[in-house]
Structure 1
């Protein structure tokens, strides 16, 4: 049975009209498509909002009394830090409104002021109770570098008796007498030597000539031991000491 037989008044033009109308399913698809577009836009907006929120997390939590991620401090809670911990000399560290350290009242470290501060190892004569000995040397004079960043150990030494070099407290070492002689040690002359323990051997030094009357000497140079020409029967004159310090020279004495 045809449409015309069932609907005698059916008009072909109406069929054409109906065919040109959009189907209901097409309308739904269009709505869904629009919804999908809206959903995509909404998702982007949400992500942007979350990103912006993450950037301000520390500020959002700042002031809650707890040091959260991104915060250095919170109110009076400086997390155990001080100006010194941040490399300053001293001063009063504070916490800013953004929960970050405020070092406005911290004082800068000044190398050369004789005070150890911040990252300084030493400063001038302030050596932080260190010495050549505490650094493993035998002795010497520890100093501080010009930039206060390290110790100057050039004045420290490690003495080894027997190495032929005078170092530290050694007066001599082998043939190295440190530039000294019997005369430098107060003797009149002779041959200075060095003992195995790196001390001076003065056995060959001569005491005569040092200007001081030593054991076994009657005089020495101008030191006559209060003796004069009168002691030898002269009326006056100038008594002298012989080169061996064991007798007097009366050539300068006179009878009148």
Structure 2
């Protein structure tokens, strides 16, 4: 076998490997339709608890269901936020990185909706993808974590309950936003809504997080 023949075979092998890798990416990456089928176009009214929980989601502050979690020691970026059809119960899904693109979205929309349904005991849908509100095709991004401005933002979008209770003030806002401990119920079948994660302002937002794609593949680099 000549040297030129070996080189040609190596080039062809690289082309085959590149083609297979491209096909694998196409197969494994979720399509837009696979995600948007979990969106909703129904009317929804959010109270101040729902707003606080959404801001907690953006902040990466949540009660991790699957593992003990020292939130202060981890960087979390929001991937999906699901909410019950009555707007009362929220559930977050996070990427263990400062970039949510560092995590795979395979089946993630489905999983966060199913976990939300366990809590809410009713249908849930995706309210936000990353920091973009996708409910009812709003498709607006929110980066401001100021409570009053967020309420005004939701009012303009016509998704805020104007008759909501007003427990949040400028003085206690950061306390509720950065809540790091609660005495709330782990029992999803509990009827005590005032001690229920995801629906009470005095309880943490329930959620889960996933490792980055790099971590899953055994990489050592930090995201």
The alignment's TM-score, normalised by the length of structure 1, stands at: 0.21
